[in-house]
């Protein structure tokens, strides 16, 4: 990693040059809510003036640039009794500007699951390789809890990361590409004062968190509280709408469907991001549903997010952005659910018996 | 204002070396074509019952046929282009490199479509995926194989393995239960198993017909007919979810250690590679850590049975 | 047509309209690019919008519109007798649709309102499945042509006909829309069956539930949520009644 500082006006020139030359997305205000707060999303940008550098957080995450909501996995073309399968890992270069530390941490977690597992996904890799990620730090929203999961800072997974130190941005340059582009612009070595400002900025961010979620030993609490009434309580509120998983930066599960073309000469195999909250997530042939109740399904979302699964065992995949909590119509959010579980656990601490020791 | 210095160059994965190579699903570290199947020709179809057919598939490409190796208990994703893909256990011998056999029940969309195709047609398979039965570890012991209904399909591969290495096993029991006599699959192989392989076959049906001379009742009743040396026995249980609970607790009572009892679980699957999360069971995925689990793991997995 | 050794037959199809705007049929005729390929799959027997041929030899009957006159009942029963597969086509056929608004005022009044002094026989509006068995429902006001194409292809190839089981929110969120509740509106997206690509909410119009309830919806939690937000109860009821699609849940409620 190489550190530089750049004046804000020079930074804008740099971003403008990038944006004009490449397909780029950055935070833009799309609406204002009833409380007159701005609503931001990652949207196409064509000049630096389109970008709201001082935005808070987007409602939807940036995962769909890497895992499209809908995506073609392969094509088949038929000739009588035979067919040909075509698979392509297509991705065009994209510049993403203004990702928050939690967004980038989420990408690192997706890398773990989708690239470092037993079967790395070329679809994801193609997109990841062709995306130029520029991160920016920010002051947390009152309900952000990424600090509880140590995701309020990130040190890998981006090309360039910018910290706002007042007049300048403090740049962490993490790729040769970013370094070469920046050579065309006026940057400086960080001075002693810049480093000091940077430390102060970090401290300010860290101290600005208003929400804390105690996630220590959550995996075992989730196991022990598997039959907890907490799930029925929150399950009763859940609409099974999948909104939480769609906006979440780390929910990656999907459904596959296959269709003949209308001329019947070919077929395509597509995937669609899905959610374990949706009613038919675990339905098998014959109609048996392994998770028939709202509470069962909601529990599994928490189980997967906070228990840590197969490819990333015992490592939580939630980064604490609280996007799910903000988007949920009925107010189901990780802080409330996890606190409830903890209370459950603490109120029945005495009756936990050791598991049978038999092998 | 076109300044090409700032254009991000395209990195084309399609042109990398792996894109032209054959996908090898057994090689679990390299990047590979995760969605590219091996094209197979259906060389034979046998109707076992009205609901079940045995398909024989031969991988078309010799190179692909060479690298396709599986272990008893593993499954493949069978793709019928235009309809979809489904997880199916491999029912043939793992030593057979010429063809694989799949015993398929007509259950829904893809499987019904499979029932409409003829020999000579083509399908694709991805895999093999999942864990397998520990055949080498089982050798030297007694084996107790228990199948309910279609559970005989995943059991056929270990059966073949035992037959091929019969001298390495002590007593081998196969307990096999079905709803009706007509639904006992592979009955044409029973004699071969009994006489050539010296497997003690015990069958039972829930509802007998006029010709049925064997036992009737639930599969757990067969335990009364057998005596086993529990401390030296490995058990494999395959069948519908309801069966596991009863059979496993019977085995438990017999005193078979939990880490020597194996079950094969079924969940909804869309990828086979730990990516779609549809097969979540407890805190893992059936497709990569399963489908074969020992009973101790199953006990520790929430919602497993 | 022969693919994978399977023989695919054209569908002998006929379309019938009852009380409705015929907008759904028009949707089909609108499919410029795929229209030729689409009609390759069909053997059209009575399809007012597209061909004028009329035969009584069909397997699949697309029934559009709701039932509001007694002669319509007889016609529908005759169609049911002939058809191997009866498809309720469009929201009116599936749920009663906008026409059912009429049911909320006494029948005599509605006759006077619509036809003045003319004496017209009219019955309360009923959906197709109130009268005959429906094999496939394709909801939508109007129907989504991609979905119709997919279902036709499924019927030709003998695939299972599936509608999404999840609600519109999934598709809405996939298009990165701002949730209309954040803008203070009532939207039925979280209880309505997806499949329309969330056209309404993408255009900032709340979902009115034209595709009917999604699978296994949590209706009480939805009602509770709207109340907790302090949104207009009458607006909510109006939306729920708009297409008559939540009839069963509404009846359970009271
Ligand atoms: C490890 C494993 C081994 C299996 N081995 C066999 C076998 O040897 N023989 C056999 O006949 N069946 C086997 N099955 C069950 C078989 O996969 C299902 O019957 C089949 O997926 C049904 O698909 P469908 O399209 O016909 O049904 P639909 O109900 O139309 O299914 C739609 C989709 O749901 C998924 N799905 C539905 N049911 C299941 C299920 N039980 N398991 C996994 N995914 C499901 C599939 O992705 C399928 O494409 C096995 C399942 C698993 C998990
Ligand atoms: S938790 Fe909230 S957002 Fe998620 S499915 Fe349930 S109701 Fe929808
Ligand atoms: S938590 Fe649920 S919705 Fe999210 S990735 Fe896991 S299975 Fe999918
Ligand atoms: S589960 Fe919620 S808080 Fe955690 S990463 Fe996903 S959206 Fe953010
Ligand atoms: S606007 Fe409607 S459909 Fe979209 S997310 Fe909100 S409730 Fe769901
Ligand atoms: S958004 Fe709602 S009202 Fe609009 S088409 Fe879809 S289901 Fe119908
Ligand atoms: S089948 Fe996709 S995760 Fe197991």
Please indicate, yes or no, if residue A74 is contained in any of the structural domains.
no
Strand segments (E) across B116-168:
122-129, 142-148
Average of pLDDT values for C91-114? Answer: 67
Of A182, A207, A232, the position where a domain reaches its end is A207
Residue B265 CA, ligand 1 centroid: distance in Å: 12
Question: Is the C-beta atom of A211 inside 6 A of ligand 4?
Answer: no
Nearest to residue A99, comparing CAs of A151, A26, A155?
A: A26
Give the residues surrounding ligand 3 with Cβ less than 6 Å away.
A 245, 251-253, 275-276, 301, 304-305; B 277
Question: Is the C-beta atom of B86 inside 6 A of ligand 1?
Answer: yes
For residues A253 and A308, state if they share a domain: yes
Interchain CB distance below 8 Å, C217 and A239:
yes
Q: How far apart are CA B20 and CA B32, in angstroms?
A: 10
Q: Supply the DSSP symbol for A272.
A: E
Cβ count near B15 (within 10 Å)? 9
For residues A241 and A161, state if they share a domain: no
pLDDT tens track for B181-231: 888 888 888 888 887 778 888 888 888 888 888 888 888 888 777 888 888
Question: Is the C-beta atom of A319 inside 6 A of ligand 4?
Answer: yes
Centroid of chain to Cα B4: 55
* Three-class secondary structure of residue A337 per DSSP: helix
Q: Supply the DSSP symbol for B165.
A: T
> pLDDT band at C2, cuts 50/70/90?
low
For residues A161 and A44, state if they share a domain: yes
Cβ contact C16:C8 at 8 Å: no
Interchain CB distance below 8 Å, B113 and C158:
yes
For residues A277 and A159, state if they share a domain: no
* Three-class secondary structure of residue A358 per DSSP: coil
Q: How far is CA A273 from CA A291, B11, B17, B26, B265, in A?
A: 19, 25, 29, 27, 25
Bridge partner residues of A160 (DSSP)? A134, A173
Strand segments (E) across A187-322:
187-188, 254-260, 266-273
Q: How far apart are CA A142 and CA A177, in angstroms?
A: 35
Candidates A34, A59, A243; nearest CB to C183? A34
Cβ contact A91:A130 at 8 Å: yes
Q: Quickly list DSSP for C2-49.
A: EETTEE-PPEEEEEEE-BS-SHHHHHHHT-TTTHHHHHHTEEEEEETT
Place of tokens 């220590």: A216
**Domain residue ranges in chain B:** 24-129, 135-300
Interhelix angle A334-347/A294-307, nearest 10 degrees:
90
B81–chain C nearest CA distance, Å: 9
Place of tokens 């397998």: B132
Q: Which atom of ligand 7 is nearest to the CA of B87?
A: 1
pTM assigned to the model: 0.90
Judge whether B24-129 and B135-300 match in fold. Answer: no
**Torsion angles phi and psi, residue C21, rounded to 5:** -95, -5
Q: Supply the DSSP symbol for C117.
A: T
Please indicate, yes or no, if residue A354 is contained in any of the structural domains.
no
Candidates B9, B124, B257; nearest CB to A85? B124
* Three-class secondary structure of residue A31 per DSSP: strand
Q: Closest chain A residue to C174 measured between Cα atoms?
A: A69
Task: Identify the CATH number of the domain defined by range B24-129.
Answer: 2.40.30.10
Interchain CB distance below 8 Å, B81 and A359:
no
C2–chain B nearest CA distance, Å: 12
pLDDT at C49: 45
Of A207, A227, A242, the position where a domain reaches its end is A207
Interchain CB distance below 8 Å, B117 and C3:
no
User: Which residues 79-98 of C are in CB contact (within 8 Å) with A?
Assistant: none
For residues A237 and A203, state if they share a domain: no
Q: Quickly list DSSP for C40-82.
A: HTEEEEEETTTEEEE-S--SEEEEESBB-SHHHHHHHHHHHHH
Q: Quickly list DSSP for A240-252.
A: ---HHHHH-SS--
Cβ count near C35 (within 10 Å)? 16
Q: Which atom of ligand 2 is nearest to the CA of A277?
A: 5
Interchain CB distance below 8 Å, B7 and A93:
yes
Number of helices (H) and strands (E) in chain B: give both, helices first: 8, 15
Q: What does the block give as tokens for A207?
A: 């101290």
Q: Supply the DSSP symbol for A65.
A: G
Cβ contact A130:B8 at 8 Å: yes
Q: How far apart are CA B267 and CA B270, in angstroms?
A: 10
Place of tokens 């002051």: A139
Q: How far is CA B73 from CA A122, B174, B220, B263, in A?
A: 27, 16, 23, 10
Candidates B108, B109, B117; nearest CB to C6? B117
Q: How far apart are CA A249 and CA A146, in angstroms?
A: 12
Please indicate, yes or no, if residue A42 is contained in any of the structural domains.
yes
Q: How far apart are CA A323 and CA C14, in angstroms?
A: 49
Domains: count for chain A: 2
Whether A132 contacts chain B with CB within 8 A? yes
Candidates C156, C157, C167; nearest CB to A241? C167
Whether A22 contacts chain B with CB within 8 A? yes
Question: Is the C-beta atom of B103 inside 6 A of ligand 1?
Answer: yes
For residues A179 and A321, state if they share a domain: no
Q: What does the block give as tokens for A33?
A: 């809510």
For residue A358, what are the contacts with CB-CB under 8 A and spacing of at least 6?
Answer: B257, B258, B296
For residues A235 and A194, state if they share a domain: no
Report the DSSP pairing between strands A187-188 and A2-7.
antiparallel
For residues A189 and A253, state if they share a domain: no
Whether B107 contacts chain C with CB within 8 A? no
Question: pLDDT: is A73 or C8 the higher one?
Answer: A73
Q: Name the CA radius of gyration of chain C, rounded.
A: 19
Q: Which atom of ligand 5 is nearest to the CA of C180?
A: 1
Q: Closest chain C residue to A37 measured between Cα atoms?
A: C182
Please indicate, yes or no, if residue A75 is contained in any of the structural domains.
no
User: Which residues 151-180 of A are in CB contact (within 8 Å) with C?
Assistant: none
- Bond from prior residue into A52 cis (ω within 30 degrees of 0): no
CATH fold label, B135-300:
Rossmann fold (3.40.50)
pLDDT at C107: 53
Whether C245 contacts chain A with CB within 8 A? no
Q: What does the block give as tokens for C95?
A: 């749920």
Q: Closest chain C residue to B41 measured between Cα atoms?
A: C4
Interchain CB distance below 8 Å, A87 and B36:
yes
Cβ contact C97:C141 at 8 Å: yes
Q: What does the block give as tokens for B28?
A: 């679990």
Nearest to residue C91, comparing CAs of C52, C134, C142, C49?
A: C142
Note the ipTM here: 0.89
Which H or E run includes B254? helix B241-254
Please indicate, yes or no, if residue A66 is contained in any of the structural domains.
no
Interchain CB distance below 8 Å, B82 and C5:
no
Q: Which ligand is nearest the CA of C222, by number?
A: 2
Whether B97 contacts chain C with CB within 8 A? no
Q: What does the block give as tokens for C5?
A: 């050794």
Please indicate, yes or no, if residue A307 is contained in any of the structural domains.
yes
Q: What does the block give as tokens for A110?
A: 């997706």
User: C221, C229, C230, C249: which to substitute to probe chain A, counting the most A Cβ within 10 Å?
Assistant: C221
Interchain CB distance below 8 Å, C5 and B118:
yes
For residues A149 and A224, state if they share a domain: no
Q: Supply the DSSP symbol for B37.
A: P
User: Which H, E and C letters describe A116-166, residue by residue?
Assistant: CCCCCCHHHHHHHHCEEEEEECCCCCCCCCHHHHCCCCCCCCCCEEEEECC
Q: What does the block give as tokens for A79?
A: 């000739």
pLDDT at C47 over 80: no
Please indicate, yes or no, if residue A182 is contained in any of the structural domains.
yes
* Three-class secondary structure of residue B119 per DSSP: coil
Q: What is the pLDDT along chain B (305 residues), one digit of tens a residue?
A: 567 788 888 888 888 777 778 888 888 767 888 889 999 999 999 998 889 999 999 999 999 999 999 999 999 999 999 999 999 999 999 999 999 999 999 998 999 999 998 898 999 999 899 999 999 898 889 899 999 889 999 999 999 999 888 888 888 888 898 888 888 888 888 888 887 778 888 888 888 888 888 888 888 888 777 888 888 889 999 988 888 888 888 888 888 888 899 999 989 999 999 889 999 888 888 998 889 999 888 887 877 77
What domains lie within chain C, and their CATH numbers?
2-157 (3.40.50.700), 168-252 (no CATH)
Which parts of chain A have pLDDT scores under 70? 309-314, 345-359
pLDDT tens track for A215-259: 888 888 888 888 888 888 899 999 999 999 999 999 999 999 999
Bridge partner residues of C101 (DSSP)? none
Q: How far apart are CA A72 and CA B234, in angstroms?
A: 44
Q: What does the block give as tokens for B100?
A: 């694989």
pLDDT at B103: 94
pLDDT tens track for B266-281: 899 999 998 899 998 8
Domain range for A248 is 218-263+272-347
Q: Supply the DSSP symbol for B8.
A: P
Cβ contact C25:C15 at 8 Å: yes
For residues A150 and A222, state if they share a domain: no
């Amino acid at each position: 990693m190489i550190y530089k500082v750049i004046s804000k006006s020079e930074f804008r020139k740099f971003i403008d040059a990038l944006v004009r030359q490449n397909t780029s997305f950055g935070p833009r205000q799309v609406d204002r809510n009833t409380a007159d707060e701005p609503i931001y999303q990652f949207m196409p940008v064509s000049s630096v003036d389109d970008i709201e550098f001082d935005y808070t957080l987007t409602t939807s995450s940036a995962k769909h640039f890497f895992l499209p909501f809908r995506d073609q996995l392969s094509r088949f073309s038929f000739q009588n009794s035979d067919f040909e399968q075509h698979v392509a890992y297509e991705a065009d270069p994209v510049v993403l500007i203004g990702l928050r530390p939690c967004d980038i941490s989420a990408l690192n977690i997706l890398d773990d699951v989708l690239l470092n597992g037993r079967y790395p996904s070329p679809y994801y890799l193609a997109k990841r390789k062709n995306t130029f990620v520029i991160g920016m730090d920010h002051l947390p929203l009152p309900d952000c809890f990424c600090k509880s999961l140590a995701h309020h800072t990130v040190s890998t997974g981006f090309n360039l990361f910018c910290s706002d130190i007042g007049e300048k941005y403090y740049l962490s340059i993490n790729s040769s590409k970013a370094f070469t582009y920046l050579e065309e612009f006026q940057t400086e070595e960080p001075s002693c004062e810049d480093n000091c400002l940077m430390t102060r900025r970090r401290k300010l961010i860290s101290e600005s968190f208003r929400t804390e979620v105690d996630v220590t030993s959550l995996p075992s609490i989730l196991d022990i509280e598997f039959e907890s009434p907490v799930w029925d309580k929150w399950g009763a509120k859940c609409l099974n709408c999948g909104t939480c998983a769609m906006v979440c930066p780390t929910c990656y599960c999907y459904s596959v469907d296959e269709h003949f073309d209308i001329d019947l000469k070919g077929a395509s195999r597509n995937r669609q991001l899905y959610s374990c909250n949706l009613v038919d997530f675990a339905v098998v042939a014959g109609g048996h549903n392994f998770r028939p109740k709202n509470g069962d399904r909601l529990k599994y979302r928490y189980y997967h997010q906070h228990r840590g699964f197969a490819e990333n065992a015992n490592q939580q995949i939630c980064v604490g952005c609280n996007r799910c909590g903000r988007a949920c119509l009925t107010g189901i959010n990780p802080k409330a659910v996890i606190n409830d579980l903890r209370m459950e656990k603490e109120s029945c601490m005495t009756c936990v018996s050791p598991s049978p020791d038999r092998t | 204002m076109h300044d090409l210095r700032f254009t991000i160059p395209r990195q084309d994965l399609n042109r990398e070396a792996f894109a032209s190579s054959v996908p090898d699903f057994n090689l679990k570290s390299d990047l590979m074509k995760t969605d590219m199947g091996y094209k197979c020709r259906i060389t034979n179809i046998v109707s076992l019952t009205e609901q079940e057919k045995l398909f024989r598939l031969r991988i078309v490409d010799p190179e692909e046929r060479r690298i396709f190796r599986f272990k008893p208990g593993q499954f493949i994703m069978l793709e019928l282009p235009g309809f979809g893909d489904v997880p199916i256990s491999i029912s043939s011998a793992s030593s057979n490199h010429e063809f694989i056999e799949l015993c398929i029940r007509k259950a829904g969309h893809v499987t019904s479509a499979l029932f409409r195709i003829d020999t000579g047609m083509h399908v694709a398979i991805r895999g093999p995926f999942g864990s397998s039965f520990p055949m080498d570890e089982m050798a030297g012991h007694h084996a107790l194989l228990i199948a309910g209904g279609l559970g005989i399909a995943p059991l056929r591969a270990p059966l073949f393995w035992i037959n091929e290495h019969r001298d390495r096993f002590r007593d081998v029991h196969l307990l096999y239960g079905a709803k009706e006599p007509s639904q006992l699959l592979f009955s044409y192989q029973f004699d071969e198993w009994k006489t050539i392989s010296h497997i003690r076959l015990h069958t039972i049906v829930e509802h007998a017909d006029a010709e049925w001379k064997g036992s009737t009742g639930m599969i757990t009743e067969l335990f009364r007919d057998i005596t086993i040396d529990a401390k030296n026995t490995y058990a494999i249980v395959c069948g519908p979810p309801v069966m596991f609970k009863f059979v496993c607790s019977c085995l438990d009572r017999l005193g078979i250690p939990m880490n020597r009892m194996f079950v094969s679980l079924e969940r909804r699957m869309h990828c086979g590679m730990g990516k779609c999360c549809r097969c979540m069971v407890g805190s893992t995925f059936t497709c990569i850590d399963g489908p074969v689990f020992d009973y101790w793991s199953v006990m520790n997995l929430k919602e497993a049975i | 047509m022969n693919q994978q050794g399977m023989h695919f037959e054209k569908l002998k199809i006929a379309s019938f309209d009852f009380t409705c705007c015929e907008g759904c049929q028009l949707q089909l005729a609108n499919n410029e690019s795929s229209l030729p390929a689409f009609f390759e799959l069909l053997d059209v027997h009575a399809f007012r919008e597209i061909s004028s041929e009329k035969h009584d030899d069909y397997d699949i009957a697309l029934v559009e519109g709701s039932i509001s006159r007694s002669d319509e009942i007889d016609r529908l029963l005759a169609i049911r007798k002939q058809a191997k597969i009866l498809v309720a086509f469009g929201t009116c056929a599936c749920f009663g649709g906008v026409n059912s608004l009429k049911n909320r005022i006494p029948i005599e009044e509605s006759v006077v309102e619509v036809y003045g002094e003319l004496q017209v026989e009219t019955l309360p509006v009923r959906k197709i499945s109130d009268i005959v068995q429906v094999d496939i429902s394709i909801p939508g006001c109007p129907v989504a042509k991609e979905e119709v194409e997919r279902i036709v292809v499924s019927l030709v190839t003998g695939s299972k006909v599936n509608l999404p089981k999840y609600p519109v929110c999934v598709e809405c969120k996939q298009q990165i829309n701002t949730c209309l509740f954040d803008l203070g509106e009532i939207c039925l997206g979280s209880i309505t069956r997806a499949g329309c690509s969330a056209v309404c909410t993408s255009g900032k119009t709340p979902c009115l539930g034209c595709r009917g309830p999604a699978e296994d919806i949590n209706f009480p939690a939805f009602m509770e949520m709207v109340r907790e937000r302090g949104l207009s109860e009458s607006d909510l009821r109006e939306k729920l009644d708009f297409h008559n699609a939540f009839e069963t849940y509404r009846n359970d409620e009271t």
